[in-house]
Amino acid sequence: MANADLQGAGRGRRGRMMFPRITMENFDSVLAFARQFNPNADSASIARMVTEQQVTPRKLEFVQKEGALAALTAGRGDGGTIFVQGATVPQSAETPFMQRMSPYDPKSPAIIPQVAIAAEHYNRLLRSLQRGEKVSLKMKFEVAWTKPDSGFNVIAEIPGTDLKDEVVMVGAHFDSWHAGTGATDDATGSAACMEAVRILRKIAQEHGLKTRRTVRIGLWGGEEQGLLGSREYVSEFLGKSQADVISQMPGAGGGGISAKPGFEKFSVYFNHDNGTGRLRGVYMQGNEAARPVFRSWLTNFNDPKAQTLTIQNTSGTDHLSFDAIGLPGFQFIQDPVEYETRTHHSNMDVYDRVQEEDMKQAATMIAVFTYNAANRDAKFPRKPMPGARPQNVPGGN
């Protein structure tokens, strides 16, 4: 498989790309952020998220003014599972949401350490204090500065035949949170996509079953900080929304698209990023035209437990970068397999949680979808563009 030498679209760009940072400060309000982050959440979940975003900075501002040496929080999870989280900059309750400072900002002031501990330990400390007992803690922090380094994507492709100028893409992100090793978020996705592409290369070499379109794989950096790697790739090679991309996720939204040469040649992107579970279907991202295509593929796949198609959107991962400019981008529906309850962004996100047979099924299904998309007569159907036609693209789609 050729290395990342993208024909006509970034030749020689094998080096690092600088990724612009997108944070919560890009939203007009905490509520807007909460609804964009999880558009399918119920009202109670939205309320909890809004409350947390409003209260946490105020609590930290208070404890820092009181002279605390560190701020402890009860980690979400139990039985030794601790879900990691980012730091928060203490600031006044009167600070407008759009003006709140991120801990990633170089201008951010010094803040006290913020530590999430096991809920069982936190609750024991709390009970001791409530009984009037004197509690003392010793904490050891090992902190090191690392050299500034720009993020990067890993891109590779299998050239197509008669439609080689058109592209079908699969991908996952290879960055992960600390505490665990990132096994289910998202080494499983990266591995499944790599295996799918290996399968396609193997059947082309040994059986002559080549793909008409070029098959490209993207392993994205910076996903956990705001889809940075996939957004940079899309804006560099495919197109950019005239409005802020993040405010339009999911869905293309309005404002029009400033298209790059690769826009019209792009067919579809498939993403894997929901843990180790088997694939059960596809979120169609509001693209009803995709239903008959996916239905025929799933029917031929002959797995009665992998037949689900939903018109609804799903958020939080790299297919949104493509969907945001009106290109077909999809995330697979997967079995949860303790993803949200045990491994996602936790110290339990380790290799032992990966399910081998589920991974084999996922890689096979991704290979089938990719092969079918790369060999159909027409490019994958797109959603109607709600705004202006893509600029610099004759006729649009």
Name which of 149, 315, 170, 154 is nearest 229 in CA terms: 154
Better-predicted residue by pLDDT, 154 or 254? 154
d(CA 269, CA 290): 12
Q: What is the pLDDT of residue 37?
A: 52
Q: Is the peptide bond before 273 cis (omega within 30 degrees of 0)?
A: no
Amino acid at 271: N
**Cβ 251 vs Cβ 328: under 8 Å:** no
d(CA 64, CA 42): 34
97 band by pLDDT with thresholds 50, 70 and 90: low
Neighbouring CB atoms inside 10 A of 86's CB total 12
Q: What is the pLDDT of residue 64?
A: 86
Neighbouring CB atoms inside 10 A of 171's CB total 32
- In this model, does residue 105 exceed pLDDT 90? no
- In this model, does residue 228 exceed pLDDT 50? yes
- In this model, does residue 123 exceed pLDDT 80? yes
d(CA 247, CA 170): 24
205 CB-near residues (< 8 Å, 6+ apart): none
**Cβ 154 vs Cβ 4: under 8 Å:** yes
Q: What is the pLDDT of residue 247?
A: 41
Name which of 248, 229, 344, 224 is nearest 36 in CA terms: 248
d(CA 137, CA 129): 13
Name which of 27, 119, 100, 96 is nearest 60 in CA terms: 100
Q: What is the pLDDT of residue 48?
A: 65
207 band by pLDDT with thresholds 50, 70 and 90: very high
Mean pLDDT of the chain: 83
CA distances from 63 to 89, 90, 112 (A): 12, 9, 9
**Cβ 184 vs Cβ 276: under 8 Å:** yes
Q: Is the peptide bond before 250 cis (omega within 30 degrees of 0)?
A: yes
**Cβ 112 vs Cβ 68: under 8 Å:** yes
Residue by residue, what is the 3-state secondary structure of 61-83?
A: HHHHHCCCCCEEEECCCCCCCCE
SS3 of 217, please? strand
d(CA 66, CA 111): 13
Q: What is the pLDDT of residues 176-186, one digit of tens each?
A: 998 899 999 99
Better-predicted residue by pLDDT, 385 or 153? 153
Average pLDDT for 358-365: 97
- In this model, does residue 175 exceed pLDDT 60? yes
**Cβ 160 vs Cβ 212: under 8 Å:** yes
d(CA 159, CA 245): 30
Q: Which residues pair with 259 in a beta bridge?
A: 239
**Cβ 253 vs Cβ 323: under 8 Å:** no
Give the count of alpha carbons within 13 A of 33, CB side only.
19
SS3 of 246, please? helix
396 band by pLDDT with thresholds 50, 70 and 90: very low
Name which of 277, 381, 273 is nearest 331 in CA terms: 273
Neighbouring CB atoms inside 10 A of 307's CB total 14
Average pLDDT for 245-262: 61
Q: What is the pLDDT of residue 80?
A: 87
Residue with tokens 């945001």: 324
In order of their start, the domains of the chain are: 25-130 (no CATH), 150-375 (3.40.630.10)
Average pLDDT for 97-105: 75
Average pLDDT for 50-62: 75
Residue with tokens 């050239």: 159
- In this model, does residue 311 exceed pLDDT 70? yes
SS3 of 280, please? strand
